[in-house]
């Protein structure tokens, strides 16, 4: 049988109320009785029953993370950031990943109800209507990497736009006139923002150059096909910016296969800085996202909402800066100079 607050009270010859107050650090307990109670509790290895406590305090000290079916580095780094920040605040982390559609996401969300004090939500299936239908108004939440606008929740985004701008500008600054862009999937939020960044940077820094956008879908295969298409263009582009690293890797294969030298004949850059990026030859220039920081910031944001529930949170969209990582594929030969050009971190609205 587990030891309860009554056992501690009996041993310490006080009431359960005093045990509760002593252990929860209330001021109104003599230092002497507090000490006696603490000793007994330690000796008995007393651990308060969390369900009983939650029932009365209406707090679980747990936050939930809803994630899509995510593979690889991004997922683990995000969880790591959230976990780190959660532990620092004494919060527990309940995760639910791997839901492929809106129904599964909704079920996961509902099943967490009552088990968490707040939610961190990253899902392509989530929009304002979804949240209205599946998230009680009383449950605080922070949205990650979401296109959801004027929702009633704070949003934390990656600065895809700024990162893309910076990379395009870097390519132009390096003297590559004419930068082509391999786009991501049409419906994808990240892809759209990166596309916008490409167009904006071109408009600002190379207004006379024509835009050159080739379709893609974030897959290596799409990158390979896009690479072949670009090689067939005349004049051949001098630089290519792929909307993500996997496509850049595929594109690189196409270039190598055709005997086109990178970066001498064509410069190339990607986005994400996946682990593979530095292992292809030459190492891939790319835009890095600080995913751990994304997770950490999201949790901090949520936690501060929990601590002052009445205080209306600024329902802002916050963006987290990216940094461009210059490696071998884009001309500047210095090996992996991390040109930490801070962009974003500005709060929109």
| φ, ψ (nearest 5 deg) of residue 47 | -125, 120
Tokens of 68: 């899509």
For residue 240, give the 3-state DSSP assignment: strand
Say whether residue 115 binds a second copy (CB under 8 A). Answer: yes
27 binds, among a second copy, DNA, none (CB under 5 to 8 A by kind): DNA
For residue 349, give the 3-state DSSP assignment: coil
Of the pair 20, 97, the CB lying nearest a second copy is at 97
> Contacts with DNA: how many residues (CB under 7 A)?
31
Per-residue x/- mask for a second copy, residues 214 to 253, rule CB under 8 A?
-----------------------------------x----
For residue 42, give the 3-state DSSP assignment: helix
Say whether residue 148 binds DNA (CB under 7 A). Answer: no
The only residue of 11, 21, 193, 267 in contact with DNA, by rule CB under 7 A: 21
Q: How far apart are CA 118 and CA 139, in angstroms?
A: 6
Q: How far apart are CA 154 and CA 333, in angstroms?
A: 41
Say whether residue 20 binds DNA (CB under 7 A). Answer: yes
Nearest to 233 by CA among 252, 261, 213: 213
Per-residue x/- mask for DNA, residues 46 to 85, rule CB under 7 A?
xxxx--xx-xxx----------------------------
Say whether residue 89 binds a second copy (CB under 8 A). Answer: no
What's the CA angle centered on 89, arms 88 and 91, to 5 degrees?
110
CB of 299 to DNA, least distance (A): 24
- Give yes or no for a contact between 123 and 66, defined as CB atoms under 8 angstroms apart: yes
317 binds, among a second copy, DNA, none (CB under 5 to 8 A by kind): none
Q: How far apart are CA 251 and CA 222, in angstroms?
A: 8
Nearest to 142 by CA among 125, 119, 126: 119
CB of 242 to a second copy, least distance (A): 15
Say whether residue 112 binds a second copy (CB under 8 A). Answer: yes
Binding stretches for DNA (CB under 7 A):
1-2, 4-6, 13-21, 23-24, 27-30, 32-33, 46-49, 52-53, 55-57
């Amino acid at each position: 049988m587990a030891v309860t607050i009554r056992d501690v009270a009996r041993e310490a010859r006080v009431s359960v109320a005093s045990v509760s107050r002593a252990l929860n650090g209330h001021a109104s307990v003599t230092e002497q009785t507090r000490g006696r109670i603490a000793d007994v509790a330690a000796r008995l290895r007393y651990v308060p029953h969390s369900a009983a406590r939650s029932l009365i305090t209406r707090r679980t000290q747990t936050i939930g993370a809803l994630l899509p079916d995510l593979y690889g580095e991004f997922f683990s780094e995000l969880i790591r950031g959230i976990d780190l920040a959660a532990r620092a605040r004494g919060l527990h982390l309940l995760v639910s990943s791997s839901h492929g559609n809106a129904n599964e996401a909704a079920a996961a969300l509902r099943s967490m109800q009552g088990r968490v004090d707040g939610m961190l939500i990253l899902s392509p299936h989530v929009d304002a209507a979804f949240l209205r239908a599946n998230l009680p108004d009383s449950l605080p939440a922070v949205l990650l990497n979401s296109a959801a606008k004027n929702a009633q929740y704070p949003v934390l985004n990656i600065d895809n736009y700024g990162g893309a701008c910076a990379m395009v500008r870097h390519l132009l600054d390096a003297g590559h006139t004419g930068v082509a862009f391999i786009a991501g999937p049409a419906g994808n939020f990240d892809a759209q923002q990166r596309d916008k960044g490409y167009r904006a940077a071109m408009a600002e820094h190379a207004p006379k150059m024509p835009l050159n956008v080739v379709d893609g879908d974030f897959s290596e295969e799409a990158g390979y096909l896009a690479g072949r298409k670009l090689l067939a263009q005349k004049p051949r582009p001098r630089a290519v910016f792929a909307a993500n690293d996997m496509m850049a890797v595929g594109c690189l294969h196409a270039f190598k296969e055709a005997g086109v030298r990178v970066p001498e004949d064509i410069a190339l850059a990607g986005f994400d800085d996946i682990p593979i990026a530095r292992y292809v030859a030459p190492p891939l220039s790319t835009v890095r996202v600080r995913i751990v920081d994304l997770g950490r910031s999201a949790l901090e944001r949520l936690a501060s909402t929990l601590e002052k529930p009445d205080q209306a949170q600024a329902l802002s969209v916050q963006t987290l800066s990216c940094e461009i990582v210059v490696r071998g594929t884009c001309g500047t030969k210095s090996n992996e100079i991390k040109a930490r050009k801070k962009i974003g971190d500005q709060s929109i609205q």
